[in-house]
Amino acid sequence: MEKKDLNLSGAGKMTGGEYRNVKVSGAGKITSDVVCESMTISGAVDVDGSVKADCCKVSGACQIRGDVKARELKISGGSSVGGNLEGDKISMSGGIKVGGDLKANELRLSGDIRVGSVECEELKMSGAMRAKGVVNCERCEMELAGKSEMEELVGSTIRVTADLNNARGILGNLLGFDRGSLKVEVVEGDDIFLENTTCAMVRGAQVRIGAGCRIGSVEYTDRLDVHMDAQVEHQVQI
């Protein structure tokens, strides 16, 4: 039996189910789980359930109360996901809240992201992330703008830099722009570069501690470089 499309706009209300293409806009509400091929949500939409789709685009002030699973997922605006978020390619921008954990192959983040824990192959972030648990990525690039916090940052290649664009010049200072900072208990990887990071323990093979860092202890196997504007209390080659 061929699946039907679901189109809802305005202040309407629909039940979930299995569909082909789903488009919801305005202040609409879906009252249960949705399974579909593609989904586009915009506005102040409320989904009182989970979403499973091949391709999913969410924008505006949308709220999905359950889990979201999609091969390709884009979320923007002030949207939130109450449960876990899982996909192959995930892109999020704006002020996004994820109540559960996030798992992806390729993850692109910009803005202010709040999440439980993160697991992915490749992470590229510009902005701030506040994670309650561990951020575990094979390749990690973070350009900090604002305050980021997490329990642990683990990966093979880790690069954490301050956002110079937001901090440059007198105008940036007057407007209150922050170069960005990261507070984390443990950073562990093979090739590590950190800026503006406060951390109790850093473990790695090749470790570079850049400007603005305040590190308790560094354990390294191959090489350690410490910037003149950084502080490392203890360093041990193992």
Question: Does the structure show a pLDDT above 70 at 168?
Answer: no
Going from N- to C-terminal start, the domains of the chain cover 1-100, 117-238
Instruction: Report residue 57 as tokens.
Output: 């685009």
Question: Does the structure show a pLDDT above 90 at 118?
Answer: yes
- At residue 203, the pLDDT reads 98
Query: For residue 28, what pLDDT band results from cuts at 50, 70 and 90?
Result: confident
Please name the amino acid found at residue 36: C
Distance between CA atoms of residues 238 and 235, nearest Å: 10
Instruction: Report residue 165 as tokens.
Output: 């664009």
The proportion of the chain whose per-residue pLDDT surpasses 90, expressed as a percent, equals: 84
Average pLDDT over residues 210-217: 97
- At residue 89, the pLDDT reads 97
Segment holding 109, helix H or strand E: strand 102-115
- At residue 12, the pLDDT reads 83
Q: Say if residues 161 and 143 touch (Cβ distance below 8 Å).
A: yes
Average pLDDT over residues 36-61: 94
Please name the amino acid found at residue 95: G
Question: Does the structure show a pLDDT above 50 at 33?
Answer: yes
Q: What's the DSSP call for residue 108? A: E
Angle at 229 between CA 228 and CA 231, to 5 degrees: 90
- At residue 163, the pLDDT reads 73
The proportion of the chain whose per-residue pLDDT surpasses 70, expressed as a percent, equals: 93
Query: For residue 51, what pLDDT band results from cuts at 50, 70 and 90?
Result: very high
Query: For residue 1, what pLDDT band results from cuts at 50, 70 and 90?
Result: low
Question: Does the structure show a pLDDT above 90 at 14?
Answer: no
Q: Say if residues 155 and 139 touch (Cβ distance below 8 Å).
A: yes
- At residue 164, the pLDDT reads 58
Distance between CA atoms of residues 89 and 101, nearest Å: 15
Question: Does the structure show a pLDDT above 70 at 62?
Answer: yes
Distance between CA atoms of residues 84 and 228, nearest Å: 42
Q: State the sign of the Cα–Cα–Cα–Cα dihedral 125, 118, 106, 209.
A: positive
